[in-house]
Structure 1
Amino acid sequence: MSVELNHTIVFARNNRESAEFLAGILGLEAGAEWGPFVPVATANGVALDFASVPGGQPIATQHYAFLVSDAEFDAAFRRIEEAGLTYYADPFMRQPGEINHHHGGRGVYFQDPVGHGMELLTRPYGSLSDS
Structure 2
Amino acid sequence: MTVTLNHTIIHASDKTASAKFYTSLLGLASHKNLGPFAVVQVGDTSLDFIETDEEITSRHFAFQVSEAEFDDIFGRIQALELPIWADPFKKHPGEINHWDDGRGVYFPDPDGHLLEILTRPYGSGGLEAEHVNPLLR
TM-score range, shorter chain: over 0.9
Q: By how many angstroms is 1:34 displaced?
A: 1.4
Q: By how many angstroms is 1:121 displaced?
A: 0.3
Larger Rg computed on CA atoms: 2
Q: By how many angstroms is 1:47 displaced?
A: 0.5
Q: Following the alignment from structure 1 to structure 2, what is the Cα–Cα distance between the partners of residues 106 and 100?
A: 5
Q: Report the identity percentage.
A: 49
**Unpaired runs of 5+ in structure 2?**
127-131
Instruction: Give the TM-score, by structure 1 length.
Output: 0.94
User: Do the aligned residues in 1 keep the contact of 2:23 with 2:31 (CA within 8 Å)?
Assistant: no
Moved more, 29-38 or 13-22: 29-38
Letter in 2 for 1:112: D
Determine if the alignment matches structure 1 residue 16 to structure 2 residue 13.
no
Please name the residue that 2:86 is paired with. Answer: 89
Q: Following the alignment from structure 2 to structure 1, what is the Cα–Cα distance between the partners of residues 106 and 99?
A: 13
**Unpaired runs of 5+ in structure 1?**
none
Instruction: Give the TM-score, by structure 2 length.
Output: 0.90
Q: By how many angstroms is 1:107 displaced?
A: 0.0
Letter in 2 for 1:121: L
User: Do the aligned residues in 2 keep the contact of 1:9 with 1:50 (CA within 8 Å)?
Assistant: yes
Q: By how many angstroms is 1:60 displaced?
A: 1.3
The correspondence of residues 1-131 of structure 1 with structure 2, limited to 5 A, is 1-43=1-43, 45-54=44-53, 57-129=54-126, 130-131=132-133
Q: Following the alignment from structure 2 to structure 1, what is the Cα–Cα distance between the partners of residues 67 and 120?
A: 9
